[in-house]
Structure 1
Amino acid sequence: MKRFLWALLALPLSVLAVEPSATATAPVAAAPMVNSGVAGQLTQLVFGLLLVVGLIFFLAWLLRRVQQAGPAGKGQVIELIGSRALGPRDRLLLVQVGNEQILLGLSPGTITALHVLKEPVEVPDNSEKATPEFAQQLLKILGKDQKDKK
């Protein structure tokens, strides 16, 4: 992978090395220099663009690899049970930490513990209720059933 990256980095520089120098004094060579200059610049532009796009894909691949190496989601202690929007920027969150459930108020810049529940709230395991109405209608139109996903 490193060879490929170095090859992509070296391509625009190799195009510069191939271009004829501006010190040529022959009048016959002047006409091809204009064409090769534009072609060389276009080639350098294309290779530079390919380098940037390749670098973006490489960084995305690297980020995905680093995230997979992190802690697995199954071993997390904190779990979001539910949430409710109170306004455009304010929410209520029900979070389970170990055996306790905590009701949190979330607003821009602050998170406030509102209440620690003595008895945990039982959450229905029905996935169809958790799906918004629009998504349910869209799945019905597309002919896909939620039960097929499991």
Structure 2
Amino acid sequence: MRRLLSAGLLLLPLSGFAAEPVATVPAPAAAATVTQAGSGMAAQLGQLAVGLLLVVGLIFLLAWLLRRVQQLGPRGGQVIRLVASQALGPRDRLVLVQVGGEQILLGISAGRITPLHVLKEPVHQADTEAAPPEFAQRLMELLGKDKH
């Protein structure tokens, strides 16, 4: 009697499975389900890639439009013009600005702009084309593209 009781207790947890009908899936139907799941995943990845490309393309389009709109402003008729700039530190600069016929030397720091001096005679730059910086010139020499 003890054997029957112990065998019954061991089979008790499995009795819940026996009460439910067992569904069998034929092999071709199981393969079709796996194929559909794989194609569904591929379709989702494809949609994700297309969406990502559209967003990146939209960002580039908006950046291009922003540059075009900024360039449409008045070119030759500007009243304020930056003549020269010199960095004094990571956040400090000296800037020479021409407003009409007057040139003003400004000190620019992290939180303020201070007029330092109004020049009585405007500073004229002899050559409007800037000489290449030393780094660029040295790099060209190292690459062997310097014509000298």
TM-score with structure 2 setting the length: 0.66
Question: Displacement of 1:89 after TM fit?
Answer: 1.4
Where 2:127 maps in the other structure, the secondary structure is coil
Q: Structure 1 unaligned segments of length 5 or more: list them.
A: 1-25, 146-150
Question: 1:8-67: CA deviations, max 9, x gaps?
Answer: xxxxxxxxxxxxxxxxxx862422221122111111122112221221232223223322
Using the TM superposition, name which of 134-143 and 39-48 deviates more.
134-143
Partner of 1:125: 127
1: CA distance, partners of 2:34 / 2:82:
70
- The 3 A distance-change label for structure 1 pair 65 and 85 is closer
Structure 2 residue 57 is matched with structure 1 residue 54: yes
- Any gaps of 5 or more consecutive residues in structure 2? 1-24
Pair 94,64 (structure 1): closer, same or farther in 2 beyond 3 Å = closer
Q: Within 5 Å, give how 1:54-73 maps onto structure 2.
A: 54-68=57-71, 70-73=72-75
Match of 2:83 among 81, 84, 88: 81
Shift of 1:103: 0.6
Cα distance in 2, alignment partners of residues 101 and 75 from structure 1:
17
Percent identity between matched residues is 63
| Greater gyration radius | 2
SS of the residue corresponding to residue 80 of structure 1 reads: strand
TM-score calculated relative to the size of structure 1:
0.66
User: Judging changes above 3 Å, is the alpha-carbon distance between structure 1 residues 86 and 60 closer, same or farther for their aligned structure 2 residues?
Assistant: closer
How many positions carry a matched residue from both structures?
118
Counterpart-to-counterpart distance in 2, 1:126 and 1:42: 55
